[in-house]
Amino acid sequence: MRFQQLLPWAAALTGCVVAQSQAGVDPLDRPGNDLYVKDLSNCTGYKVTKHWKTRSGFYADLALAGPACNVYGIDLPKLKLEVEYQTDERLHVKILDTNNTVYQVPDSVFPRPGFGQWCSPKNSKLKFDFKPDPFSFTVSRTDTGEVLFDTTGTKLVFENQYLYLKTHLPQNPHLYGLGEHSDSFMLNTTNYTRTIYTRDAYGTPQGQNLYGAHPIYFDHRQDGTHGVFLLNSNGMDIYIDNEGGQFLEYNIIGGVFDFYFIAGPSPQDVARQYAEIVQPPLMVPYWGLGFHQCRYGYQDVYEVAAVTANYSVHDIPLETIWTDIDYMDRRRIFTLDPERFPPELVKDLVDTLHARDQHYIVMVDPAVYYSEPNPALDAGLKYDAFMKELNGTHYQGVVWAGPSYFPDWFHPNAQEYWTEQFLNFFDGVNGPDIDALWIDMNEPANFYNRPYPGNNTTPEEFAEANDNPPEPPAVRDGPDAPIPGFPDSLQPNFASGQTNEKRAVVTVERRARSQSHRQLGAGRWRSAVRHWPRDPKAGWQHGRKSGSGCGPHECRGLPNRELIRPPYMIQNGAGPTLADNTADTDIVQSGGYVQYDTHSLYGAMMSTHSHNAMRARRPDDRALVITRSTFAGSGKDVSHWLGDNISDWLSYRLSISQILQFASLYQIPVVGPDVCGFGGNVTETLCARWATLGSFYTFFRNHAEIFANPQEFYRWPIVAEAARNGIAIRYQLLDYIYTAIYKQTQTGTPSLNPLFFNYPFDQNTYGIDLQFFYGPGILVSPVTEENSTSVSYYLPDDIFYEWGTGKPVRGHGEYVSAEVDVTHITVHYKGGLVYPQRIESANTTTALRQKGFNIVIAPGLDGSAHGELYLDDGLSQVQDKVSEIDFSYVDGVFEMKGSFEYDPGVGIERITILGVGAKPEVAAEDAEVEYDEENQKLVLHVDVPLTRKSSIKIA
Q: Catalytic residue numbers?
A: 440, 443, 644
The amino acid that residue 738 corresponds to is Y
Pairing of strands 402-405, 257-262: unpaired
Burial 485-522 (b: 16+ CB within 10 A, else e): ebbbbbbbebeeeebeeeeebeeeeeeebeeeeeebbb
DSSP state of 714: G
Name, in order, each residue with C-beta under 8 angstroms of 656's C-beta and a sequence gap of 6 or more. Answer: 185, 693, 769, 770, 771, 772, 782
Strand partners, 897: 886
Q: By C-alpha distance, which of 334, 386, 339, 341 is closest to 365?
A: 334
Rounded CA-CA distance 295/933 in Å is 47
Q: Where are the beta strands (DSSP E) in 253-358?
A: 257-262, 291-293, 320-323
CB 179 within 8 A of CB 666: yes
CB 708 within 8 A of CB 732: no
> What is the maximum alpha-carbon separation in the chain?
89
Distances (CA, A) of 946 to 424, 732, 908, 949: 42, 17, 7, 8
The amino acid that residue 421 corresponds to is Q
Distances (CA, A) of 381 to 117, 408, 412, 413, 939: 43, 12, 14, 11, 66
Rounded CA-CA distance 261/259 in Å is 6
Rounded CA-CA distance 752/749 in Å is 9
Local structure of 732: helix, strand or coil: helix
Per-residue DSSP letters for 27-69?
Answer: ---S--SHHHH---TT---EEEEEEEEETTEEEEEEEESSS--
Local structure of 747: helix, strand or coil: helix
**3-state SS string for 515-559:** CCCCCCCCCHHHHCCCCCCCCHHHCCHHHCCCCCCCCCCCCCCCC
**3-state SS string for 817-868:** EEECCCCCCEEEEECCEEEEEECCCCCCHHHHCCCCEEEEEECCCCCCEEEE
Burial 126-140 (b: 16+ CB within 10 A, else e): bbbebeeebbbbbbb
- CB neighbourhood size of 243 (10 A): 8
Strand partners, 438: 363, 626
Pairing of strands 639-641, 671-672: parallel
Distances (CA, A) of 435 to 149, 350, 357, 574, 618: 46, 10, 11, 34, 9
DSSP state of 259: E
CB 143 within 8 A of CB 59: no
Q: If you count them, how many residues does the chain have?
A: 955
Rounded CA-CA distance 336/334 in Å is 7
Rounded CA-CA distance 659/671 in Å is 6
Burial 911-921 (b: 16+ CB within 10 A, else e): bbbbbbeeeee
Distances (CA, A) of 535 to 85, 115, 847: 14, 8, 47
